[in-house]
Amino acid sequence: MDAPQPTPTRTVTEVISVARLGTAVFAALALLFSLGALIVASDHKSDAKTTTQAGAVSGASAVLAAAAIPSDAAAVTLSELKIEPSMIMVNKGGALKVTNAGAIQHSLAVEGTDLVTPTLDPKGVAGLSLSSLAPGDYKVSCTIPGHKAAGMVADLMVMGDGAPAATGSSSGSKTMTADQMDAQMAVATKAFPAKTEGLGGQLLAPKVLADGTKEFDLTTKVVDWEIEPGKTVKAMTYNGVVPGPTIHVEVGDKVKVVLTNEMPESTSIHFHGIRTPNDMDGVPDITQAPVKPGQTFTYAFTAQGPAVGMYHSHQDAVKQVPDGLAGAFLIGEEPVPSGVTVSQEFPMMLNDSGTIGLTINGKSFPATAPVVAKLGDWVEVHYMNEGTMIHPMHLHGLVQRVIAKDGFPVPQPYDNDTILVAPGERYTVLVHADTPGVWAWHCHILTHAESDKGMFGMVTAMIVK
C-alpha cells in the first residue's frame, strides 16, 4: 500500500475504449438474459415478421417442413447469441436442418439471397433447401433485429459436384485439426489492439457562460460507426461518437446541456443517476414533449453529488440506447480509501444489443483499447451497463476493490475479481496495478467473449508495466 496522503489527488484522463469473454452461467443469469432479450425481440416483432415474410415470397419453396428435411441435411443450431457450427459445409443441392435451441425467437437467412427460414420459436425446427445456390462461400445470419450485431453470423460453404463431403459427422459440419483451430483463434488476438475509425467517451470541454454556468452542446445524429476492423454499422450518436462524450462537472456547478436533434426521429435525454428538477428528467410525454427532428431542447440544473451517472435517450430507448445514444455523466469525485492516489479514471460502458452489439465503450475486440498502467498505479473504473443483459466483468490477475455502487460509497470497500453489473447499474472499482503483465479483462458470460474463432466482443486487457 502506498504511503498515506493528506489529501488524495486525482486526474481525469482521456476516457479509454475497452472490450469481450463469458459462459452460459447459472439458471438465474440465463433467465435474466432471456427476459432482456425478449424485450428487444418483442419490440421489433413486427419487423422480424416482415423480413421473414419478404424472404418467403420468392423462397417459399426452399422452406421445408420438419418431415420433409432430408436425412443428410447439415444441422445448424441457433441459440443466444450464436450460430453453430460457425462454418457450415454443404454439397451442391443440399439442405439445412435449422433448430432453435435458445430461449427466444431466432431465424436463419442466407445473406444476399431470398433464402430464409420462418421465425422459429424455442425448440422450433425448419428445413432450408439450398438447391438454388451455386457453389461458393456465403454468410448466414439471424434476421431478428440486433441478433446479427450481437454475433449470430456464420459462414456457409456450398461445395461443387463431386466435392468430398465434410468429415466428422453426417450433419455436414466442418471438422478442423487442432492446429487449424489454434490458427483461426489466434487471428483476433494477434490483431489486438486493432485500429478503427472513431473514438467515443472523450472528455467534453464545456462552454463557460458569463454567470459561470457550464454549457455542454450535444447533437444527435446517425453516423457510420466502425465497431471492429471492417465492421461498420449505422449508429445513433451524441456528437458522432459511441459512447457519447463524457461530461464531468463539480458539485454545485450550474449545468446546461443543449440537445440538438439531427436524427429522423424524436428523442430526449434522461440523466440516469443524476438528481435534477422534475421538468428536467427527460421522459417524453411525462416531463417534456419529445424533441422532434430539427428541434433543440435545453436541460438546466445544479449538479448535486458526488455522482456517477449516465445520460441516455428515453424515447424508444430499447432501440436508441443500444444503438448508441448513451454517455457518462460524472459529478465531483468518489471518496477513495486513505493512502490511495488515483492515476487514471475512466468509465467502461457495456452494451450487448442494437446495432452496437457486444461492446465495451462502443468497440468490439480486437478493436478495444487496453488500459495501460505503471506498476504501483491505482486505476479507477466506473462500470456502466447500458445494455439489456447482466454482465459479470472479470479481471485476470488483479483485484477489483469496490468503493461505490450507483455512485453511492459502500460502507466498507470490498475486494472481488468479478463484478456483476446489471442493466442500469454502475459500480466504481479501484484496481491496484501491483503485478506486471498483460491481464485479460472480459465479460464472463463466455458467449459474449469467445468462440471457436477466438476472442470477440466484450474483451480487453490491462497492461501493467
Q: Which three cell numbers stand for residue 183?
A: 490458427
Residues 217 and 335 in one domain: yes
Give pLDDT, residue 60. Answer: 58
pLDDT of residue 158: 85
- Residue 201 domain-assigned (yes or no): no
Residue 275 lies in a domain: yes
pLDDT of residue 126: 93
Within a domain: 14:
no
Inside any domain, residue 51: yes
212 and 147 within one domain: no
4 prior amide bond cis, ω within 30: no
Give a yes or no: residue 270 inside a domain.
yes
**Same structural domain, 79 and 129:** yes
pLDDT of amino acid 175 = 66
Q: Could you give the number of structural domains in the chain?
A: 2
Nearest to 221 by CA among 264, 258, 256, 271: 264
- 105 & 237 share domain: no
Residue ranges of the chain with per-residue pLDDT less than 70: 1-60, 160-175
**CATH code of residue 82:** 2.60.40.420
**Domain co-membership, 222 together with 287:** yes
Q: List, as one string, the DSSP characters of 38-107.
A: HHHHHHTHHHHHHHHHHHHHHHGGGEE-GGGS-TTPEEEEEETTEEESSEEEEETT-EEEEEE-SSS-B-
Domain final position from 157, 177, 197: 177
**Residue 200 in domain:** no
Asked if residue 169 and residue 262 are part of one domain, the reply reads no
Q: Is residue 366 part of a domain?
A: yes
Range of the domain at 54: 27-177
What nine digits make up the cell of 416? 472481488
Residues 141 and 240 in one domain: no
Same-domain status, 131 and 235:
no
Same-domain check for residues 170 and 222: no
Q: Hey, how many other C-beta atoms are within 10 angstroms of the C-beta on 302?
A: 14
Residue 82 domain-assigned?
yes
**Residue 87: per-residue pLDDT:** 84
Asked if residue 151 and residue 226 are part of one domain, the reply reads no
Tell me the pLDDT tens digit for each residue of 213-236.
Answer: 999 999 999 999 999 999 999 999
Matching residue, cell 461443387? 160
The pLDDT value recorded for residue 122 is 93
Model confidence pLDDT, tens digit, residues 36-56: 444 433 444 333 333 333 333
144 and 254: one domain?
no
Residues 61 and 121 occupy one common structural domain: yes
